[in-house]
Structure 1
Amino acid sequence: MATTTDPAPGTPAAGAPDEARPAEARDETPPFPVRTTLMGTIGSVLVLLGAFGAGGILIRDPVLGTGPLSWIRYGHGRMLANAVLYSGFGLVVWAWVRLGRYMLAGRVGSRAILIAAGCWMAPLLVSPPLFTRDVFSYLGQGAQLLHGLNPYAHGPAELEILPNIVQNVHPVWQTTPAPYGPLFLLIAKGIVALTGDNVIAGVIVTRLVLLAGLGAMVWALPRLVRHLGGKLPITLWLAVASPMTVIHLFGGPHNDAMMLGFLAVGVVAALERKHAVSIVLVTTAMLIKPTAAVALPFLVWVWTNHLPGENRRRNFLKAGAASVGLFLPVFVLGTWVSLGSFNLGWVTGLQAPTLVTNWLNPSTGIGQVVYTLVHLVIKVPESPFITVARLVSMITLAVVFARQWWRSRYGGNEAIFRMTVTLLATAILAPPTLPWYLTWGFVLAAAFPWRRRHLAIVVGVAVFLVMAYYPTGEQALYAWPYVVLTLALGVYAAASLLRPDPLGLIEAWRKQKVPDFLSSQPTPATQ
């Protein structure tokens, strides 16, 4: 470890002496950003403390529900908890942006970024769910499978035992079939079998299990970088240390983390010509969250272009047949083992998330705008407008998918890039669009080369996507003053990556601390 304090920001000018150049250019271990890491860790601890009153708290909380600190869940106590939580989140973002500036200056390396991300996640292991209540649905659906109810035919409300789990499932999902793959429900079943009706233990164990997915991502990202041409510190900063991962995927927690682990390793296997392994891994990812199926047709092109011979049509048929031959038994066996039968009800369960309507999904937003304008003239229901707009959006997505898939026909990095674009398009165009859905393609995108201004855009988008929902898990997208404030904070965070203190606020504060009689004294040069 080269130092115990943060490195000075900025890139040395050309021609600077060797001592002024980035440590990586001198084959030295880059310094460790202690203060920045500590700042984010303090922020994460504040998020943890605030979450006990402002996060996805239990309806009957055995920790604070009836004790002397129960006031934090209500009224002014809850307002204080929100203030603490958002202050902590601000520190996490500030630390992430500072770490990004040091990274761009070549002053910190991959190891420091991973350690920082780990420090920021660690306090959240025991936190109530953050900005979502989905984990309670995971536990409820796992409990259904454990006790003989089909989670693809019934909602958790049908479960007559384990009342603590059932009552904490969000009302929208109480009577809704599960939209997740059968393998994930098998994992959730195992968690509930271990923790029973103890919801707090269930949330903690879920996070521990999902760490396997994050670990697989961390293993895969350096290998993806070698193939896709990115820079590892930037990739880890984007995909692992980002608030989207720290707060959403881990703090949430969300099962997308496990799906992305299998997907990332599967893409690595395809690029390293281990195509059978790749298809098996990505099919397994699909059995966790069905969105991963989008990647499979692109992997066929990668396989096609790795086969010897000049006959591309024959190679495509070989790769396609082999892919289907691997996909089907994994799909059937995974479904059978998870559910005890070959039950395809989970495919129809994919319609459940469409119950969520908000303008974060562009088609839904367009439908709502058109409805509002028409409603000014004539009384009409909203649903037809949203349905039509979503239908147009799905047709658009089908066109995007077909176009991107065909442009991937030469395989290689181009196919992975087109896969990434399609995963992002799926998150945006297919209803609904939830903030953490953007991680589907974003983890792969992080391994490609990036420009500084695009990194700044990612910072702004990440801040907005975390704050698009309240810490309780309820959406905040129609609280317009809050949305404007969130957008402003996102823009400021984005600008801060490229230039410290872009509005000069810190400098102005420092000047305010200088007494007037000192600022008016002549300098030595003028005396």
Structure 2
Amino acid sequence: MTEPIRPTASNPISAAAESLREFLGRFRATSWLIGGPEGAVSHTLRQGLLASLMIMVGSWGVGYLVMAPSSWLAVNPALVPLRTTTGGVVTCAVLLAIGALLLLRSWLRLAQRVSSWDASSVSVMRRAVFMWGAPLLLCFPIFSQDVFSYWAQGGLLHAQQNPYEAGVSGLPGWFAVGADEQWAESPSPYGPLFLVFAQGVWFLSQGIPEVAVLAFRMLAVLGVALMLVVIPLLARTFGSQPGWALWLCLLNPLSLIVFIPAAHNDALMIGLILTGVWYAVRGRRLAAVLLLVGAVAIKPIAMVVLPFVVLLTLKDTSSYLLRLREWAFATLIAVLLLGGGGWLLGVGVGWFTAALGAGSAILQGAPIGLAGLGIGHAAEALSGVNAETVASWVYAAARIGSAVVLGVLLLWPRLGNPVLWAGYGLTAVVLASSIIQPWYLLWVLPLFAVVHVYRGRALVGVILLLTVLTLLPMIGQLSVAQWMDTLLVQAIVIAVAALYLIYIMFFDPNTTTLFSVKRVSQRWNAAQGWQSLKELPKPQTSWAAENIYQKAR
């Protein structure tokens, strides 16, 4: 492995910034935050903590808050000025954006300030997760309102309605629960196990939104805890760098914000998937399948990963008969558990098709979604065929295409590492979707990171994508009172955030090197060394257990 890239000052603005940092580093009052040698990670950890505190305070003014009589915070006198005055809202919105960018910078600097990606870096990354994540536990929901949709769908199930047949508008007083209007008529996209959790939260919260948010946040934290334990184990097993994998998967600002303040159930799904992978490489066949089925029961998209991961229990994957045996075993357990669970919940097996097709009420914003809309409107203008019908054909063709890709990968004679190929398959499914949410990227990152370390243009592309997917949705989801000009607040935030982002990318003497596209895209693991992504060799033999770099214990 190579050492982390060290910063250099290459222009007057960068040189001035570095001189200012060195000057302030001489004083006790400021050196604790910005001073210190490159190897002193403590300063970067403190900067990330400051960023999280800024996000926390900012969320109190522009995060989502249910204005219900049962709310503990709706009429809190300390919060009223932050949420009802122009100065308070603008200040909190700017704090939120600057905090997210400072968190981004701290994440990038952490990769530079560790001496190397050896075993000692794992403890540093875990400490960073604790320090940066703790303040985020006290945030109001930001980035999306999905946590309130979870709550409402739990209420539907508690009211003995089927969330796979009815949107949250079927719940009396649903609007006061805080759910986004886009879910009003859309069925639940979540698995039956998560709906059981949601029903339990609905019952335990007794109508208090803050209790519900904390409960869902604890479920997300459980997923983060699983990842925190399992990602280093898997990285060692497959020959990647454990500290680097934690840095990429858990400490980037998108992961921290989606998993903790937004309380998304993706964290629990990913945690269960990765724990299932760990049990699979240890040969614990039944436990692996149960964990993977549990992930499917949280979010059905996990079923894309399941047929790849169960092959890890085989000593050799060259036999199609053995592959079919594992798939049949996993399918039998999945049918029994998911079918039985659906029957006990009173939703039958209808959850399968409803969950996969849910979200149809959401604007199609992915490349395939936009292509479908464009082709549909063009066809309607030229031939009079209904635009929505043509668009649905485009979406169906894309789904069929992704299914073909999955089939080819699973049946390929010389199968590659099942975890890595699960990442390829899941990426194909995401790209073929007519709707792509920012957090979908977090599904695939661990499947690549536990197998290889990446650098060059590939890593720069991921960093840029994470930056865009963090900032744009967060600014677009500011919760601003109706009597204020939301567009004006967003314009101010965008202007401030753009200036700071430009500085980080082009003038900051410490981070500009991380945005360089001069280095070719490469990947590394302990068994293969560095390989150019353009010249990757094809597998000569099908994956076998002996290809595991380090035996799992």
TM range (shorter): 0.7 to 0.9
What secondary structure, in the 3-state scheme, does the structure 2 residue paired with 1:63 have?
A: coil
Alpha-carbon shift at residue 206 of structure 1 (Å): 1.0
What secondary structure, in the 3-state scheme, does the structure 2 residue paired with 1:78 have?
A: helix
- Corresponding residue of 2:522: none
Per-residue CA deviations over 1:155-202 (Å, capped at 9, x if unaligned) read 222223xx4875411111123221100000101111222211110111
| 8 Å Cα contact 1:460/1:494 also seen in 2 | no
1:38–1:8 CA distance, 2 compared to 1 (3 A)? farther
Alpha-carbon shift at residue 8 of structure 1 (Å): 11
Superposed, which structure 2 residues align to 1:196-235 within 5 Å?
196-235=206-245
Q: 2:326 aligns with which of 308, 315, 319?
A: 319
Greater mean alpha carbon deviation, residues 416-425 or residues 385-394: 385-394
1:177–1:313 CA distance, 2 compared to 1 (3 A)? closer
Per-residue CA deviations over 1:300-351 (Å, capped at 9, x if unaligned) read 44345448xx8x24423433332333322222333345x1564433532332
Instruction: Name the % identity.
Output: 24
Greater mean alpha carbon deviation, residues 247-256 or residues 129-138: 247-256
Asked whether 1:468 is paired with 2:472, we answer yes
| 8 Å Cα contact 1:53/1:78 also seen in 2 | yes
Alpha-carbon shift at residue 110 of structure 1 (Å): 1.1
- Corresponding residue of 2:14: none
Per-residue CA deviations over 1:271-316 (Å, capped at 9, x if unaligned) read 2222222112111110110001011222344345448xx8x24423
Q: 2:168 aligns with which of 137, 153, 156?
A: 156
Q: 2:312 aligns with which of 286, 294, 302?
A: 302
Asked whether 1:89 is paired with 2:96, we answer no
Alpha-carbon shift at residue 259 of structure 1 (Å): 0.6
The 1-side partners of 2:509 and 2:115 are apart by 9
The 2-side partners of 1:301 and 1:488 are apart by 49
The 1-side partners of 2:401 and 2:147 are apart by 32
Alpha-carbon shift at residue 78 of structure 1 (Å): 2.0
Alpha-carbon shift at residue 100 of structure 1 (Å): 1.6
Q: 1:399 aligns with which of 379, 392, 404?
A: 404
1:289–1:417 CA distance, 2 compared to 1 (3 A)? same
The 2-side partners of 1:326 and 1:189 are apart by 24
Q: 1:357 aligns with which of 356, 360, 363?
A: 363
Per-residue CA deviations over 1:388-416 (Å, capped at 9, x if unaligned) read 43233223212221222223x555x6222
Residue 203 of structure 1 aligns with an amino acid whose one-letter code is: V
Q: 2:265 aligns with which of 255, 258, 261?
A: 255
Greater mean alpha carbon deviation, residues 220-229 or residues 346-355: 346-355
What secondary structure, in the 3-state scheme, does the structure 1 residue paired with 2:305 have?
A: helix
Asked whether 1:50 is paired with 2:62, we answer no
- Corresponding residue of 1:441: 444
Superposed, which structure 2 residues align to 1:130-209 within 5 Å?
130-160=142-172, 163=173, 166-209=176-219
1:345–1:80 CA distance, 2 compared to 1 (3 A)? same
What secondary structure, in the 3-state scheme, does the structure 2 residue paired with 1:98 have?
A: helix
The 1-side partners of 2:98 and 2:168 are apart by 35
The 2-side partners of 1:487 and 1:222 are apart by 35
The 2-side partners of 1:319 and 1:156 are apart by 38
The 2-side partners of 1:482 and 1:373 are apart by 37
1:115–1:481 CA distance, 2 compared to 1 (3 A)? same
1:379–1:469 CA distance, 2 compared to 1 (3 A)? farther
Residue 94 of structure 1 aligns with an amino acid whose one-letter code is: R
The 2-side partners of 1:147 and 1:330 are apart by 23
Residue 10 of structure 1 aligns with an amino acid whose one-letter code is: R
What secondary structure, in the 3-state scheme, does the structure 1 residue paired with 2:137 have?
A: helix
- Corresponding residue of 1:121: 133
Residue 218 of structure 1 aligns with an amino acid whose one-letter code is: L
What secondary structure, in the 3-state scheme, does the structure 2 residue paired with 1:451 have?
A: strand
Q: 1:347 aligns with which of 335, 340, 353?
A: 353
1:42–1:498 CA distance, 2 compared to 1 (3 A)? closer
Residue 349 of structure 1 aligns with an amino acid whose one-letter code is: A
| 8 Å Cα contact 2:40/2:113 also seen in 1 | no
How many residues in Structure 1 have an aligned counterpart in Structure 2?
470
Greater mean alpha carbon deviation, residues 248-257 or residues 450-459: 450-459
The 1-side partners of 2:377 and 2:432 are apart by 21
The 1-side partners of 2:405 and 2:452 are apart by 23
| 8 Å Cα contact 1:178/1:346 also seen in 2 | no
Per-residue CA deviations over 1:417-451 (Å, capped at 9, x if unaligned) read 11111112222222310000111111221112223
| 8 Å Cα contact 1:47/1:88 also seen in 2 | yes
The 1-side partners of 2:49 and 2:63 are apart by 18
Alpha-carbon shift at residue 83 of structure 1 (Å): 0.8
| 8 Å Cα contact 1:283/1:327 also seen in 2 | yes
1:9–1:367 CA distance, 2 compared to 1 (3 A)? closer
| 8 Å Cα contact 1:363/1:390 also seen in 2 | yes
Task: Give TM-score, length-normalised by structure 2.
Answer: 0.75
- Corresponding residue of 1:458: 462
1:325–1:343 CA distance, 2 compared to 1 (3 A)? closer
- Corresponding residue of 1:22: none
Asked whether 1:10 is paired with 2:6, we answer yes
The 2-side partners of 1:253 and 1:137 are apart by 11
Report which structure shows greater RCO (CA 8 Å, sep ≥6): 2
Is there any run of 5+ residues in structure 1 with no aligned partner, and where? 1-6, 12-29, 505-527
| 8 Å Cα contact 1:103/1:234 also seen in 2 | no
What secondary structure, in the 3-state scheme, does the structure 2 residue paired with 1:109 have?
A: helix
Is there any run of 5+ residues in structure 2 with no aligned partner, and where? 8-37, 480-485, 516-553
1:158–1:290 CA distance, 2 compared to 1 (3 A)? same
Q: 1:38 aligns with which of 17, 37, 46?
A: 46
| 8 Å Cα contact 1:221/1:447 also seen in 2 | yes
1:488–1:406 CA distance, 2 compared to 1 (3 A)? farther
Alpha-carbon shift at residue 382 of structure 1 (Å): 5.6
What secondary structure, in the 3-state scheme, does the structure 2 residue paired with 1:204 have?
A: helix
Q: 2:430 aligns with which of 427, 430, 451?
A: 427
- Corresponding residue of 1:522: none
